[in-house]
Homo-oligomer: A and B are copies of this chain.
Amino acid sequence: MEEGLIPNVSVDCVVFGFDFTTLNVLLIERNFTVDGVVYDDLKLPGDLMRLDEDLDTAAGRILKENTGLSNIYLNQFKSFGSPDRLKKKPRDMKWLLQIDHPEEHVITIAYYSLIDISAQHNSDLIISDNARWCPVHEVTDLVMDHMDIVQCALEHLRIELLNKPIGFELLPDKFTLSQMQKLYEVILETTFDKRNFRKKISSMKYLIPLNEKQVGVAHKPARLYIFSREVYTKTKKDNFDFSV
């Protein structure tokens, strides 16, 4: 095993990307051959921690090494440590036997990330050859317990979206209210009546309309908005409405 690694602790990252239509998750190919059999699976970006780094640093490094992405929103949401989490599927056992650190029990600290992937021309979004975006609702099988980790990340994302203005991490700097509505619908797996949605967001003082409209669209161009973190910080109040 490479020196300086902690054998029993890893970090895994669930990177969500929104393209105005679908919520996607970034997955890495895990390909190997044993006894002539080719194993071809998908996994989350993840790896063992190093002795000299803290959790957030490890998450950033591992995401960069696995996917090429850097400087994106990262949020630690849960740790997973079932003793059989690596050994649930025969093909994971095959994989464990042929790597150089076949630990029996690895606790993983899971993070989720949010990025806007609507700007296909954005060079910051170039990802490694073995990484690919997959629509979340089409992902049904991943290595080890990575499906559980994705499901748990989705639940945290939904709760966060209803409690903090994190949805804007998934939108470009300037966006339309229809794009914002689509984002909320996709993550919350629901649909909103347009008027109802506008009413719900009317109290968001940090959602600032611009004197600017979309360009180059086939339909009637819509007004663009920005999210103001400054206004959010200044106007946010503690939520003392206990109607939970």
Using a CB–CB distance below 8 Å, which chain A residues touch chain B? 6-9, 49, 51-55, 58, 76, 78-83, 104-105, 107, 109, 159, 162-165, 184, 188, 200-201, 203-204, 236, 238-244
Copies assembled? 2
Residue in contact with A55 in the complex, picked from B80, B200, B239, CB distance below 8 Å: B80
Which residue of B53, B184, B236 contacts A83 across the interface (Cβ within 8 Å)? B53
Question: Which residues of chain B are near A107, meaning CB under 8 Å?
Answer: 6, 9, 49, 55, 107, 109
- Contacts known (A9-B9, A243-B203); A83 close to B54, Cβ less than 8 A: yes
In the bound complex, residues from chain B placing their C-beta under 8 Å from that of A49 are 81, 107
Given A8-B8, A162-B239, A244-B162, residue A79 in contact with residue B201 (CB < 8 A): no
In the complex the two chains form, is A81's CB within 8 Å of B105's CB?
Answer: no
21 sample A-B contacts, Cβ–Cβ < 8 Å, listed by A number: A6-B8, A6-B107, A7-B8, A8-B8, A8-B9, A9-B81, A49-B81, A52-B105, A53-B83, A55-B79, A55-B81, A55-B82, A58-B81, A76-B79, A81-B109, A162-B238, A162-B239, A165-B244, A203-B243, A204-B243, A236-B244
Q: Determine whether the beta carbon of B201 is less than 8 Å from that of A242.
A: yes
